[in-house]
A and B are shown apart, each in its own frame.
Chain A
Amino acid sequence: MSLAGRLMNVFAAPGDVFGEVKTAAPSVANWLVPAILFMVLSWLSAGLIFSQPAIRQQISELSTKAIDRQVEKGKLSSAQAEQARAMAEKFGGVGYKIGAVVAPIFMAFISPFFGGLILWLVGSFVLKGPFPYMKAVEVAGLSNMILALNVVAKTLLILITGNLFASTSLALLVKDFDPQNTFHSLLTMMDVMVFWLLTVRAIGLARLSGASVGKAALWIFGIWIAITGTIIGFGVAVRAAFGG
């Protein structure tokens, strides 16, 4: 199977792709190409999204709201708030743009290695089907093609709804999405693309470790729930501590 075949078939026949990856010689392209694709698509998406006046307005509104909250809670004086508003107006947009450029780089390269680490740890030590770490990285990298597709779908949804937080998750059904609302955050986790990604990774883990897909999926989803729960819990704790 060619590289292009592997990249495409990961959507439709991931078992076949990962079966071949297990037996084939190590290939950097298996994780590097999806990573580059993800990066490029993310940058294009950011360019498209930030060109929308409605989105720019939303970003400025978010900054203003955050500052207003601080003022309401007495953490900022009106003079400080005024200063913060001026700073947000001046640098807020720039901050978002820098984030949109830098974040995909980290995401594209951390995801296959961190995802691969989890697959390797679970496969080698829990499912007792040892395989090289780089094979796990290739599986995680190839499955990141779904993340690349997610970028496209998410961008289109943002453009359609005019909502910066639109995604393929249940949060799409929320009219006034608030990123600081815990329930809304939970809804964003209910993302069909994430579930697809996890399922594909579970298939990859099953192929590499020789375990059943169900068992592998149980571990993958379990770990994801644990990590997601920790992140949300951490967010809640931070907000509680700092009154955000």
Chain B
Amino acid sequence: MAKPKKRRKLIIFSAIGLVLVILILLAVFKKREPVIIVQTEKVARHSLTNIVIANGKIQPVVQVTISPEVSGEIIELPVKEGQQVKKDDLLVKINPDIYVAMVSQAKAGYESSLAAKASAEANLEKAQADYDRNLELFHQKLLSESDFIGFKSARKVAKAQLDSADDQVNVAKANVDSAEEQLNRTTISSPLDGTISKLNSQLGERVLGTVQNAGTIIMIISDLNQMEARVDVGEMDVVGIKPGQQARLEVDAFKDRKFSGTVTDVASSSKDSNQTGNYSSSSSQSQEATKFQIRIRLNDKESFRPGMSVSADIETEYRTNVLTVPLASVTTRPPKPPKKTDPPKTGGTNAPAAKSGTNAVVSSNAVASSNVATNSGAPDKKSKESSKMLDVVFAVAGDHVDVVPVKIGICDDNYWEITDGLTNGQEIVSGGYRAISRDLDDGKKIKRGTPDKGEAKEAK
């Protein structure tokens, strides 16, 4: 009786022990990785408009800076900021007293030079008469040669003195003109119909002329009827922008309104090069992004003010019916190092994306490496190529994802164009943000779920 009981106990304990050992082994050796919750979408065809987004300021198309050409005290300033002015309206009058005196002085000098000229003419007449009378005597041998040469020289001197007096008259006349011009410049009139958009000086203020220095900027007159957006675009985007392209503009001051515009001018040199004229400038400048100024003429009339902040969406390219994925789907990952056992691959195309993601990444990297290898003796380039990040999307394959390197084209607000790597209808991961940007990798397990609110915020 005791033996079967003992045997039964042994069997039961062995069974319990065996089950526990199996469970423990499974628990210990099972790869426990968290399942990543993602949202998915299918690769689909859409029409895309490539948009370059740029920020800047509203400025008038025509804007004139008013600086005096002569220095002095402002004695009349009949305009104020914001005032509309017509062409030739008086803007500023600078104290003319000193310039009036200078005109008088110049005129006196002129009169003096005229008198000197009259005297020189009289001298010449006398010298000429002496010369004519003595010439006859000289021919009749009644005058010595040395006396005759004396009369001849006197005539020449008188003639030269007249020429000099004539030049003095011209100089004096020019001085008069210059002084009058200086006097005229004490009065500044508007060169155009416009609005005083900026008034820097006040009545009684002393201003500097622009003759020998930068001069004082008294005011800025703008034609507010024609406004443009001057926006800055990065060097990567500027190549796609051309005059005539359309743009949608949002001016911060006019909320919920969109304005249309047309690109009129694309800067041919960057703002930095304009400022410094030296591309190898200080390190702080070289660290800043290189920006080019784009001018967009506003088609709509509104009470824009110079300096208002504007955001422009410039439509640079348009493509119809192209393969697209959501913007959030595309991310970058470093290429995986090629396996040593992999045979060297040649050829220019990437591996088909339908294959396993690992293979795709490795093989595309292998292609890059083999291409570099043909450029013999370029180890630096090789290392640079291999460290270059790849554009990838995560293709859904059952309960896990494959990393698929893709070639991207243009994009709009919602989609990237995919030129290589994916096929129409393929299911790819479109969210969440954290999963795509950080968590997902080749072979990671996924589960389709609803987006987490926090993640949605982070993605924004």
Contact = CB atoms under 8 A, between A and B. Distances in A.
B34 A57 contact: yes
B34 A11 contact: no
Nearest to A176: B447
Interface string B421-460: 0000000000000000000000000000110111000000
A54 B33 contact: yes
Contact of B35 (A8, A54, A82, A156): A54
Interface of B: 5, 8-9, 12-13, 16, 19-20, 23-24, 26-27, 30, 32-35, 37, 449-450, 452-454
Q: Which are the 7 A-B pairs with shortest beta-carbon distances?
A: A156-B23, A12-B9, A159-B27, A12-B12, A54-B34, A53-B34, A160-B26
Contact of B24 (A52, A61, A156, A162): A156
Contacts of B453: 81-82, 85
Q: From B8, B12, B20, B32, name the one whose CB has the most chain A CB atoms within 10 angstroms.
A: B32
Contacts of A159: 27, 30, 32
B31 to A, nearest CB: 10
Contacts of A160: 23, 26-27, 30
A56 B34 CA distance: 9
Interface in A25-70: 52-54, 56-57, 61, 64, 68
Nearest to A81: B453
Nearest to A157: B23
Interface in A178-205: none
Contacts of B30: 159-160
Given A11-B12, A57-B35, 20 more contacts: A8-B13, A9-B9, A12-B9, A52-B32, A53-B33, A54-B34, A56-B34, A57-B34, A57-B37, A64-B450, A64-B452, A153-B23, A156-B20, A156-B26, A159-B27, A159-B30, A159-B32, A160-B30, A162-B34, A162-B35
A162 B19 CA distance: 19
A89 interface: yes
B37 A11 contact: no
Contacts of A85: 453-454
B32 A12 contact: no
A13 B23 CA distance: 24
A33 B152 CA distance: 151
Interface string A2-32: 0000001101110010000000000000000
Contacts of A76: none
Contacts of B19: 153
Nearest to B29: A160
A81 B453 CA distance: 10
A149 interface: yes
Nearest to A8: B13
Contacts of A16: 5
30 contacts: A8-B13, A9-B9, A11-B12, A11-B13, A12-B8, A13-B5, A13-B8, A13-B9, A16-B5, A53-B32, A53-B33, A54-B32, A54-B35, A57-B35, A57-B37, A61-B37, A61-B449, A64-B450, A81-B453, A89-B454, A149-B16, A152-B20, A156-B20, A156-B23, A156-B26, A157-B23, A159-B27, A159-B30, A160-B26, A162-B35
B448 to A, nearest CB: 11
A85 B456 CA distance: 13
B84 to A, nearest CB: 50
A82 B454 CA distance: 9
Contacts of A52: 32
B450 to A, nearest CB: 6
Contacts of B8: 12-13
B33 A156 contact: no
B32 A162 contact: yes
A53 B32 CA distance: 9
Contacts of B450: 64, 68
A16 B16 CA distance: 19
A229 B448 CA distance: 34
Contacts of A89: 454
Nearest to A60: B452
Contacts of A54: 32-35
Contacts of A12: 8-9, 12-13
Nearest to A86: B454
Contacts of A156: 20, 23-24, 26-27
A7 to B, nearest CB: 12
A153 B13 CA distance: 14
A16 B5 CA distance: 10
Nearest to A48: B27
Interface in A74-100: 81-82, 85, 89
Interface string A142-167: 00000001001100110110100000
A152 B453 CA distance: 36
Contacts of B454: 85, 89
B456 to A, nearest CB: 11
A2 to B, nearest CB: 15
A74 B100 CA distance: 86
Q: From B9, B20, B30, B453, name the one whose CB has the most chain A CB atoms within 10 angstroms.
A: B453
